[in-house]
Amino acid sequence: MNYTTRDYPQEYPLRTTIAEIDLGRLRANFRTISARAGSAAIMPVVKADAYGHGIVPCAEALVQEGAAMLGVAFAAEAEPLRTDRRIPYETPIAVVTPPFPHGAAEYCRLNLEFCAASLETMQAFSAEAARTGRTLKAHLTIDTGMHRDGIQTHEALEFMRSVEHLPNIAIHGICTHFATSDEADTSYFHLQVKRFGDTIQTLRDAGYSFRYIHAANSGAIANTSAEALFTLVRPGIALYGYNPSDELSEPLNVKPVMALKTSIISLRRLAAEEPISYGRRYTTLRETTIATIPIGYADGLRRNLTEKLRVMIGGQYFSVVGTICMDQCMVDIGDAPFAVGETVQLLGSQKSALAEVEEIRIDANDWAQQLHTIPYEILTSITARVPRIYFTS
């Protein structure tokens, strides 16, 4: 399906707060990552509703670009991918969080690949797969130092021997997860790479082989360490236009996929020393115009951004003033001659109104710096009540 800005949700334009998702940029980011990954296949991570961008439209574009499989965090996230006809049913979907034994029926129903990290879970999944006539594919998950999930490196061989004869289970992958691949100090990253490589070699010496060997997240892909790419990579944040940190020596040339927009819904001219919003935390410094925009913390505009946020209107920056409310916030536009209905942009870019500057922009990194967090949290916090509008640039 070709998504355009004409594919408005039913409530648009009654609600002018929207997130525009540029699927053309998503595809371009995929190709950039693919070039850096060399011969490795790609498992785009589309968990958390594709990092807030919309799982089905993004997954469709990524599958069309040649994704080997899709990665989600939980089985429930795969439901729309299996029920929406835009995603071919034969598309492999791997759940990257190890499951509980009682999840066996759901994995069989949705035909999901899973992380193998528990003998009890493997036995339960084997029994259910045999009962339903399925063969479930698994990825042996190795803990090389993240200490979140997986089998300890020294236990990997014993674990494989204990599960290799379980019926209706095929362990065709082996994986780990890096804790520091996006940091300037790469010593721990390379230690994890070595531990993983040594574990794979031990298993190979015992006669075990794997179709998919994977560990590289966005940071590891950017680092272009050939020994860390293995046969499959798992990009996440980079797909959506952000490098995982500013410490990378060779950041990926990717561009943000999401723009966040709203519009002015009311204007009022106020004298100096007039309080704005809850708690009167801001008082006008001079006679000025205050514009109200219909977006607030229930949309993902964090209340902690109060007195720290700016927006773009007509190619200029303006400050959000006063406490950010649940559904609205206020912008001091001074003497600018804007009218009700004027577009206000919170994330994205605009042509600058200043001759000496070609473009102005605000991205999730700007918010993240103000909140002492990371762009992942910003993107995934844009709530579901903000309509997503899809187009291809």
Provide the annotated active-site residues: 47, 278
* Dihedral of alpha carbons 159, 161, 163, 169, sign: positive
Enter the tokens of residue 354: 């200043």
Enter the tokens of residue 34: 């693919």
- Beta strands 114-116; 136-143: pairing state: parallel
Report the distance separating Cα 8 and Cα 3, nearest Å: 10
Q: Tell me how far CA of residue 72 lies from CA of 43, 117, 139, 141, 393, in angstroms.
A: 10, 17, 14, 15, 26
Q: What is the DSSP letter of 242?
A: -
Enter the tokens of residue 92: 């492999």
Exposure of 201 by Cβ count < 10 A (0-12 exposed, 13-18 middle, 19+ buried)?
exposed
Report the distance separating Cα 241 and Cα 365, nearest Å: 11
- Other beta carbons less than 10 A from residue 123's beta carbon: 16
DSSP letters, 108-157, are HHHT-BEEE--HHHHHHHHHHHHHHT--EEEEEEEESS--SSSEEGGGHH
* Dihedral of alpha carbons 372, 375, 377, 381, sign: positive
Exposure of 273 by Cβ count < 10 A (0-12 exposed, 13-18 middle, 19+ buried)?
exposed
Return the bridge partners of 150, or none. none
Return the bridge partners of 391, or none. 22
Return the bridge partners of 115, or none. 139
Q: What is the DSSP letter of 167?
A: T
Enter the tokens of residue 170: 């095929």
Report the distance separating Cα 257 and Cα 242, nearest Å: 9
Report the distance separating Cα 39 and Cα 178, nearest Å: 20
Enter the tokens of residue 314: 């007509």
